[in-house]
Amino acid sequence: MNDLRPRRSHGRLRRHGTGALAVLALLLTGCSAATDRPAPTAPATATATATAAVAGLFDVGAGRRIYLECHGTGTTTVVLIGGLRAATDYWNRTDTKPITVMRGVSGAARVCAYDRPGTVREGNAFSRSDPIAQPSSELSAVADLHALLTVAGVAGPYVLVGHSYGGCIARLYASTYPAQVVGMVLVDALSEAFAAAMPAAQYAQLQVSQQVPAEDLAAYPAIERLDMDAVNAELRAAPPIHAMPLTVLSADQLVAPQWQSMIDSGQLPAGTPADLGAAVDRAQKASQDFQAGLVPGAVHITQTHSGHDIPLDNPAIVITAIRDVLSRAR
């Protein structure tokens, strides 16, 4: 489960699935990495009410703070959960399309996004949230998200929108707090079915190709990394999500045609097998089909005209999917 597809970024640090993932590897290149962590803003003192815009830090316990941003109004709250290393700004970038998922949803509902510890913002800025030990898994991410929503006063019910690795967090949250979640949109999300669909040797090769480069770790020692064995085990052990409106959006641009050029350009490590990209595509298809069967009546949209970063390539289809789930959940 790794972010598998090449991503656009203005920064050097890699955000896989930018939010990125464990399912599609993709490496961001650009200017040199940042070396200084920006000073955090003062902890927020007001709660994230159903009407006020919010942008600040909230103490989630043990003196650790997480950045949260909310806009719009509504009785149901949409929670945007980015992929591996994707911070809040992933959902509000205007450099790819004039409309953004956060802005498009905020006209119809309350919508919130947050910086997980170790994420990367545009321009190589580090996460505004306090760091945690890495690598991590979605179990700690679910605990953090629940604590954040609680302390910030962001009331449910929730529609969870998970991109890439964020889809793992959304599913585990819905399994852990079923009474709070009334709908879900999984955006080219990762799942435990991805690893199961690949021969063990190929999956091991993929993990090697997804390792964080030494220069990125040197620049940002707290950068988000995943314990994939734990991620997969936690998903397998979790109770099934209950019946709810669910839409699965799957990328329709394959990895395989780009794989060799990624090897040749150095985006993937030397020695990465040339046929691994095709194996990734097969495994991701199996994973997407698996997620479309999580609940009866799930909607599976496969013609997204997009690579892995559907929220950047085609934000309109993500906005439409969220609004549709909102309407069905009410």
pLDDT of 289: 98
Reported as a single tens digit per residue, the pLDDT across 270-295 is 889 999 999 999 999 999 999 999 99
Q: Does residue 19 form part of some domain?
A: no
Per the listing, tokens 């945690």 go with 132
Per the listing, tokens 């953090």 go with 144
pLDDT of 21: 31
Question: What percent of the chain shows pLDDT beyond 90?
Answer: 75
Q: Does residue 24 form part of some domain?
A: no
Residue 78 near residue 103, CB atoms below 8 Å: no
| Segments forming the whole domain that contains residue 283 | 54-329
Q: Does residue 12 form part of some domain?
A: no
- 269: domain CATH number is 3.40.50.1820
Q: In what order do the strands lie in the sheet with 299-301?
A: 54-61, 64-71, 110-114, 77-81, 158-163, 181-187, 246-249, 299-301
Q: Does residue 42 form part of some domain?
A: no
Taking residues 301-327, report their average pLDDT: 97
Reported as a single tens digit per residue, the pLDDT across 62-107 is 999 999 999 999 999 999 999 999 999 999 998 888 999 999 999 9
Q: Does residue 49 form part of some domain?
A: no
pLDDT of 94: 85
**Helix (DSSP H) and strand (DSSP E) numbers for the chain:** 11, 10
Does residue 176 register a pLDDT over 60? Answer: yes
Question: What percent of the chain shows pLDDT beyond 70?
Answer: 85
Tell me the C-alpha distance between 73 and 110, whole Å. Answer: 4
Reported as a single tens digit per residue, the pLDDT across 184-236 is 999 999 999 999 999 999 999 998 888 898 999 999 999 999 999 999 999 99
Q: Does residue 17 form part of some domain?
A: no
Q: Does residue 101 form part of some domain?
A: yes
Q: Does residue 11 form part of some domain?
A: no
CA nearest neighbour of 269 among 213, 217, 315: 213
Domain count along the chain: 1
Distance of CA 216 to the CA centre of its chain: 19
